[in-house]
Amino acid sequence: MSQHPSGNRDYWYTVPATHTPEHRRIDVPDPHESPSRTRRASTPEPSDGQVATFSSPESAAATAERRPTAEIATARSLLGTAWLRIRRSRIAVAALIVVALMVLFAILAPVLAAIEGSDPFTARTGPDFLDDFYTPGLPLSYYRFPSGEHWLGLEPGLGRDIFARMAYGARISLTIALLSTAVSVVLGTVLGAAAGYFGGKVDMAISRVMDLFLAFPHLLLVLSLTPIMQSRLRGTALDSGSLVPIASLVIILGFFGWAYLARVVRGQVLSIRQQEFVEAAQAYGASHRSIIFRQIIPNVMGVVLVYATMMIPTNITAEAALSFLGVGVKDPTPSWGQMLNAAQSGNWYLSDPWFLAVPAGALVITVLAFNLLGDAVRDALDPKSSRS
């Protein structure tokens, strides 16, 4: 037994090869201290061939003081962990910023239009704004492009302000996309959880309905049912202004978009219902509704959130496509798809591509930002799915 080279009263010995493979620091009596201050070592013996360290209480306290304070690990929720991973991705942060700016652009549409001094409905058809000789209806060169008076110019035909219509069109597009996504998420989550939890005939009935909805061609179904839904909503409480086309698109897109999410949730619930916490809730006497909404659905919210972020851009493009084809939002209600229709119907994009590039560019940027954000959310909630 010898003194440690550092000068501390630490003592060393070599462990025989018969000891268990664990390395532990063991405090033994200090020969310079009185017997009343000695303590018995009670920790497991060190590993084979390793060197164990014996130190006095004073040297152990000094060593502890020299050690840096270790960080205390804090538990994070699912959303907190996902947010931390999203912040580390530059692409995800850039996409989130674009989405936030688009949402603010839509919310502040009346304020921005008032600052510009225009509105999305006022027509300017006089010769001071539109050409009436070479290309009738085409805005004059000063009003064709961005200027201090009209930030994105005037649209052909009626001379309405493009910036104001873009801002109000963002409100329409995002409102339809978000509400229809909410309808799909609620239906898909509840029905998928019920099918996976109950099983048997309930599972069979809901699964066959899912197969039926997935078998229909989505675009043709929406095209055929949208005019019927709009006619049914006439004369109701929603028959006010532009609420009828908006409500019809929300109902149809939301009602026919839940089947895929329900199938994914059902697969997750089939494995979750065998977990111990579900069996414990059942043994405790909790009702089926309580188990589904308090135990099962919170454990599939990661999948639901990923699906929701991927469904929003799909519904944005669906609304734009339906409005472009003339069965969605109609003039004079501003919509990005309706603005594309207006630029194409009069062949104004042949005279100047600007009238087509503005709504198309906004649509592409918004959808791309939501898609990139959806990929980031998926990778954050499920790191195993991240692309290497």
Shared domain check, 213 and 85: yes
Shared domain check, 221 and 167: yes
Is 129 among the domain residues? no
Q: Which single residue is written with the structure tokens 């493979």?
A: 21
Shared domain check, 42 and 115: no
**DSSP 8-state assignment for residue 161:** B
Tell me how far apart the alpha carbons of residues 260 and 311 are, in angstroms, rounded to a whole number. 11
Shared domain check, 84 and 59: no
- What are the tens digits of pLDDT across the range 75-95? 567 677 778 888 888 999 999
Q: What is the pLDDT of residue 257?
A: 92
Shared domain check, 25 and 167: no
Shared domain check, 187 and 51: no
Shared domain check, 22 and 100: no
3-state secondary structure of 235: coil
Q: CB atoms < 10 A from the CB of 213, how many? A: 18
Is 364 among the domain residues? yes
Is 189 among the domain residues? yes
Shared domain check, 118 and 22: no
Shared domain check, 85 and 44: no
Is 233 among the domain residues? yes
Is 366 among the domain residues? yes
Shared domain check, 87 and 24: no
| DSSP assignments along 43-86, one per residue | SPP--TT-EEEEE-HHHHHHHHHHSPPPPPP----HHHHHHHHH
Q: What is the pLDDT of residue 128?
A: 84
Tell me how far apart the alpha carbons of residues 259 and 252 are, in angstroms, rounded to a whole number. 13
Q: What is the pLDDT of residue 109?
A: 95
Is 140 among the domain residues? no
Is 135 among the domain residues? no
Of 291, 317, 297, 304, residue with least CA distance to 218: 317
Q: Which residues pair with 139 in a beta bridge?
A: 130
Is 134 among the domain residues? no
Q: What are the tokens at 112? A: 């921005």
Of the residues 66, 92, 107, which one is the last residue of a structural domain? 66
**Is the link from the previous residue into 29 a cis peptide, with omega within 30 of 0?**
no
The CATH number covering residue 223 comes to 1.10.3720.10
Indicate the length of the chain as a whole number: 388
Q: What is the pLDDT of residue 75?
A: 54
Counting the structural domains of the chain, the total is 2
Shared domain check, 52 and 90: no
Judge contact between 222 and 252, C-beta under 8 A. Answer: yes
Q: What is the pLDDT of residue 138?
A: 87
H helical segments located in 199-217: 200-215
Q: What is the pLDDT of residue 331?
A: 85
Shared domain check, 109 and 37: no
* Residue ranges in the chain whose pLDDT is less than 50: 1-29, 31, 33-44, 46-55, 60-61, 64, 66-73, 387-388
Task: Give residue 95's domain range.
Answer: 80-122+160-385
